[in-house]
Amino acid sequence: MSTPHPLVISVDLPRPGDVLGNYVIERQVGLGGMAVVYEASHRRLGKRVAIKMLLPHHAARTELAQRFQREGEAAALLDHPNAVSVFDADADPRGTPYLVLEYLQGEDLAALLKREGRLSMEQTVDLLLPVISAIAVAHDLGIVHRDLKPENVFLAQRRREVVPKVLDFGISKTAEAESLKLTHAESLLGTPHYMSPEQAQGAEQADARTDQFALGVMLYECVAGRCPFEGNSLFAVLAAVVGGAPTPLDELVDALDAGFDVAVMRALSKDPELRFPGLRDFGAALLHLASEPTRLHYAAEFAHVARPAQTRVCQDPLPEVDVRDRADCLIALFAAEAAAAPDDARDDVIEGVLDAPRSARVTKKRAYVPLIIGSALVLVAAASIAVAAADDAPRTVSTERLVTHD
């Protein structure tokens, strides 16, 4: 499989056969603007790993070295089956840092979307519920990813199973790092199409709800075959993210499930306060669409998050109210009915309780919660962001890959 960057062997970089700590370099498999990735093997055990090394000329740059260290710390702290594992961190004799990661074979979600165009709702939820689970645990640990996108969801092939893995915590934010002053280059960290409005206006504003917005973008893109916020320039994309409304999903997707529609549109709310309280709430709103094995696997994690008192305000048909209230009603009804159902009937409840009739969907006008800012402010903010990005585009708009391709 081809790699995302041309492969280059530099005199400053390790070569095949070189020894790096306990590992023998086998081959270079990826190169980006910040780091190089190798396939390697343990000298005694023979275990295959991936080694990601900061490019030597970046090692002396404090902010990049800190970002690289933060990537390793965040990934190591997040012990989750759907996040890439970090086995070790060290530096070569010159002091250039590197990470030792699990070796993955497969493709990323971006490659799958490029090949398939769009995915079914079931396939989309099956692939992204594990990601939601992993990022929910990251949030429990005070880690915000800040660059969730299809390129950073790797679909690892394990025997006959596909295991989604979250990659690249290089621009993640942790509670411990809050006291560190962000550099100018970090003012627009992330990837524009997947940024939340608050992240587009400054990385320091990104919190757990920013990751939720990015996941909403990915869910939309998977089923619609396009991102909700697009443009022919960086300025246009950022302006759409901050002040635009996406094309309604039911205009792009046939037989759109009402629960999926409501959940995604709530995650894409411009105002962070109107998104789901947490990612497990988001997962609960999507669980009914997953395949049976995925539903059974995640039922315990996601189905308990509803607040039972909300069932008192949920009537049939579901009220056409604020998208946040309606989504909470759906989650509460799902959890209450699933909990009350006998074990042999629970799957049917999970399958059907959120299958609301089309007439009960929230209206398009109410489904998009506008950010209360004037059009002039939108354009000024987007313009200032675009200028900042243009000053340092390679470091602010693109990010590094954490895994190898074979």
Where among 104, 139, 164 does a domain terminate? 104
Task: Answer whether residue 170 is part of any domain.
Answer: yes
Instruction: Give percent of the chain with pLDDT exceeding 90.
Output: 41
Which pLDDT tens digit goes with each residue over 187-238?
Answer: 455 688 999 998 888 766 678 999 999 999 999 999 999 999 998 888 899 9
51/71 same-domain check: yes
Return the number of other C-beta atoms located less than 10 Å from residue 337's C-beta. 18
Q: How confident is the model at residue 148 (pLDDT cuts 50, 70, 90)?
A: very high
Task: Answer whether residue 385 is part of any domain.
Answer: no
152/282 same-domain check: yes
Phi and psi at 232, nearest 5°, equal -95, 10
284/352 same-domain check: yes
- Asked if residue 102 lies in contact with residue 87, where contact means CB atoms within 8 angstroms, the answer is yes
Residue ranges in 151-305 assigned as alpha helix (H): 197-200, 208-224, 234-243, 258-267, 279-286, 292-302
* Whether the predicted pLDDT of 249 surpasses 50: yes
Using the Cα atoms of residue 333, residue 334, residue 335 and residue 341 in order, give the sign of their dihedral.
Answer: positive
- Asked if residue 40 lies in contact with residue 20, where contact means CB atoms within 8 angstroms, the answer is yes
281/183 same-domain check: yes
Where among 330, 349, 365 does a domain terminate? 365
Q: What's the whole-model pTM score?
A: 0.72
pLDDT, residue 405, reads 37
pLDDT, residue 184, reads 36
pLDDT, residue 189, reads 58
Where among 39, 73, 104 does a domain terminate? 104
100/112 same-domain check: no
Residues 6+ apart with CB under 8 A from 206: 144, 146, 173, 190, 196, 198, 199
pLDDT, residue 392, reads 36
Distance CA 80, CA 166 (A): 10
pLDDT, residue 32, reads 76
* Whether the predicted pLDDT of 63 surpasses 70: yes
111/99 same-domain check: no
The residue with tokens 């709800």 is 209
Phi and psi at 110, nearest 5°, equal -60, -40
| Structural element, H or E, at residue 86 | strand 86-91
- Per the structure, the complete domain to which residue 72 belongs is given by 19-104
Task: Answer whether residue 399 is part of any domain.
Answer: no
122/52 same-domain check: no
Q: How confident is the model at residue 389 (pLDDT cuts 50, 70, 90)?
A: very low
Task: Answer whether residue 45 is part of any domain.
Answer: yes
> For the ranges 1-15, 78-92, 193-207, which has the lowest average pLDDT?
1-15
91/123 same-domain check: no
pLDDT, residue 201, reads 82
70/154 same-domain check: no
Which pLDDT tens digit goes with each residue over 17-44?
Answer: 999 999 999 999 888 777 889 999 999 9
User: For residue 197, is the peptide bond before it cis, meaning its omega torsion is within 30 degrees of 0?
Assistant: no
Task: Answer whether residue 378 is part of any domain.
Answer: no
pLDDT, residue 91, reads 85
CATH code for the domain of 84: 3.30.200.20
pLDDT, residue 30, reads 82
> For the ranges 1-10, 90-99, 371-380, which has the lowest average pLDDT?
371-380
For residue 394, which of 238, 118, 191 has the smallest C-alpha distance? Answer: 191
* Whether the predicted pLDDT of 371 surpasses 50: no
Give the mean pLDDT of 61-90. 82
SS3 letters across 373-393: CCHHHHHHHHHHHHHHHHHCH
Task: Answer whether residue 403 is part of any domain.
Answer: no
113/99 same-domain check: no
CATH code for the domain of 157: 1.10.510.10
Task: Answer whether residue 246 is part of any domain.
Answer: yes
Q: How many domains does the chain have?
A: 2
* Whether the predicted pLDDT of 269 surpasses 60: yes
Give the mean pLDDT of the chain.
74
| Active-site annotation, residues | 147
Task: Answer whether residue 4 is part of any domain.
Answer: no
251/335 same-domain check: yes
For residue 267, which of 207, 211, 310, 192 has the smallest C-alpha distance? Answer: 211
Residue count of the chain = 406
pLDDT, residue 55, reads 85
* Whether the predicted pLDDT of 282 surpasses 90: yes
72/130 same-domain check: no
| Structural element, H or E, at residue 20 | strand 19-20
* Whether the predicted pLDDT of 5 surpasses 50: no
| Structural element, H or E, at residue 98 | strand 97-102
Return the number of other C-beta atoms located less than 10 Å from residue 271's C-beta. 14
Which pLDDT tens digit goes with each residue over 89-137?
Answer: 888 888 888 889 999 999 999 999 999 999 999 999 999 999 999 999 9
* Whether the predicted pLDDT of 363 surpasses 90: no
